[in-house]
Amino acid sequence: MGNENIVIASTETHTNDAVHGSHTVDVPPSQVFPTLLGTLGEHRELTFFHYHIVDLPVILYDKENGLDFYANIEKMQEAGKYTLSTTHKIVKTNKPNESPTLDLSVTSLVCFQWLAMLILLVAFFRAGRRAKKNPISAPKGIQNLLETIIVFLRDDVVVPNIPDKKVAYKLLPYFVSLFVFILLMNLFGLIPGGHTATGALGTTAGLAITALFVINGTAIRQIGLKNWLKHLLGGAPWYLFFIMVPIEIISIFTKPFALTVRLFANMTAGHVVLLSLVGLIFYLKTLAMAVVAVPFSIFMYALELLVAFLQAFIFTILTAVFTGLAIGEHSEHAEHH
């Protein structure tokens, strides 16, 4: 069995001759798990299972070569400036150890983020138009769903954790958008053939950076920049600034870092377990393994569905808690000074 090969439909571009899409390759048992787990990353083509839909554009900026736009990876390689390394990373052709300064390419995960944005824009537009048209009628359909989410976040997440009710209501649209956007991206990963955009550090980091600006921007607006800077002393005497200021600055960035890693790790872990269970079937090639792996996979899938909702809620409520704490802490320090 160790020398036998299995056939797996791959959505990854593995060679320069196969940059245009899906293909079927013989994968030895030792490469089963790397091949399956490789589908979790970003791809430079949009696929549905092993069916190729469209090649995605490559946009690169480099101090040496300037800004370059290519229709796909093949066009990029034909131009000669860049090529794919053995690890499928874009590098300079004349300097294989160097990557471009900035990669702004559209990837599969970016497409799913855009899809989530489009669905939410259409959903909220339709719900809002229906609410304006019939303001006194009972909500139904998508309007009822969105109003339920809004009321839940308002009464159980935002208002209880942000002490100033006026501020809480101003920030409510942000928290609603944050929750539904994360939730939709999480759910996309559970659709057969879909991808989880929150399984990429870039996505979760971007969400955490917006939270960083909301948390500290709200605090500065509430108490003023001067009092916010005084807060960096943490209530200690001014001559201890060289100790307290670095500690407070680290604490400011620790919160969004924790949000980034928590969402990324939780959304990736479940997919890794699911693919590992599937990989065991191909690796061992026994009916007994399939009998064991399939029920566990169904259980993990149900657990992943719960995690999709839970992680969207946790990210949203922690951002609200951090915002409330920032306002409260800064207010206390302002009064003390």
pLDDT (mean) for 5-16: 38
User: What average pLDDT score do residues 248-267 get?
Assistant: 91
Q: What does residue 28 show for φ and ψ, rounded to 5 degrees?
A: -70, 160
Nearest to 23 by CA among 5, 6, 11: 11
Alpha-helical segments (H) within 154-240: 159-161, 165-188, 201-223, 225-231
Q: Are the beta carbons of 30 and 8 closer than 8 angstroms? A: no
**Size of the chain, expressed as the number of residues it contains:** 337
Distance CA(277)–CA(65), nearest Å, equals 45
What does the pLDDT average to over 249-268?
91
How many percent of the chain have pLDDT more than 90? 34
Q: Of the given ranges (43-57, 68-82, 146-160), which has the lowest mean pLDDT?
A: 43-57
Tokens matching residue 57: 């554009």
pLDDT, greater one: 85 or 102:
102
Are 131 and 143 a contacting pair, CB within 8 Å? yes
pLDDT value for 23:
46
Instruction: Give the C-alpha separation, 153 to 146, whole Å.
Output: 11
In this prediction, residues 215-219 reach a mean pLDDT of: 91
Kind of pairing between the strands at 82-84 and 45-48? unpaired
Chain centre distance of CA 136? 38
Average pLDDT over residues 139-163: 92
Instruction: Tell me the CB-side half-sphere exposure of residue 58, using CA atoms within 13 A.
Output: 25
The string of pLDDT tens digits covering residues 288-337 is 878 888 888 888 888 999 999 999 999 999 999 999 988 875 444 444 44
pLDDT for 51 equals 78
pLDDT of residue 12: 38
User: Which backbone phi and psi does 32 adopt, to 5 degrees?
Assistant: -60, -55
Write the CB contacts of 175 (distance below 8 Å, at least 6 apart in sequence).
153, 157, 158, 316, 319, 320
pLDDT of 85 higher than 60: yes
Q: pLDDT tens digits, residue range 26-64?
A: 566 555 555 666 666 677 888 776 778 888 899 999 888
CA 39 to chain centre: 16
Please say if the pLDDT value at position 102 is more than 70: yes
Query: Residue 91: enclosing H or E segment and its boundaries?
Result: strand 90-92
- How high is the pLDDT of residue 242? 77
Beta-ladder partners of 25: 8
